[in-house]
Amino acid sequence: MRTAFFLLSITLTAFQANAALELKDEYEAWSHYESQDVTTGKPVIIGVADAKSDGDVDTVALRCTYEGVNLLFFKSMKREEPGYQAKASIDNGDAFNVDVWVKGSTHWATMPEKQIETAVKGEKLIVTLQGTSDKEQVTVSLNGFEKMYQVLAPTCKENV
């Protein structure tokens, strides 16, 4: 859980939110955190889940950005280019592309809107993140994702 708190602290800093991070609720595998944006006064909502990977990622955050609903994966390696397309699947179904943007050593994956309906009904999301010379497969539980998404989605348009 120490990794989750570190992850949330960095994520909230990007939103210019204050340090009043508060656990609001838990939805199966997802934890709902909130803080107030110091500029707008509106709540900043972030969902956090543990992840399983064959590399360094052990926590994933769900948040709103200008691109839509994003998943944040911490990675230990940097990439030269600012982004890439990764492959993802829900419950080992058909693979789809996910746009990933690299900021420092974090990888931000935008969930395609057309995949959200499948995700809310699914059990697990598998994303293959790329490093400079290798790939890392990350599995995130989707148990509780629907409730976390329902809480987060309405705030996306008003906070970005």
Q: What is the CATH number of the domain that holds 56?
A: 2.60.40.1880
pLDDT at 14: 45
Count of domains in the chain?
A: 1
The stretches of 15-160 forming alpha helices (DSSP H) are 113-121, 145-159
pLDDT at 82: 83
Angle between helix 113-121 and helix 145-159 axes, rounded to 10 deg:
150
pTM of the entire predicted model: 0.80
Q: Is 28 left (phi over 0), alpha (psi -120 to 50) or beta?
A: left
* Tokens found for residue 135: 């790939």
Tens digits of per-residue pLDDT, 121-158?
999 999 998 866 678 899 999 999 999 999 998 888 75
Show the domain range for 82. 2-159
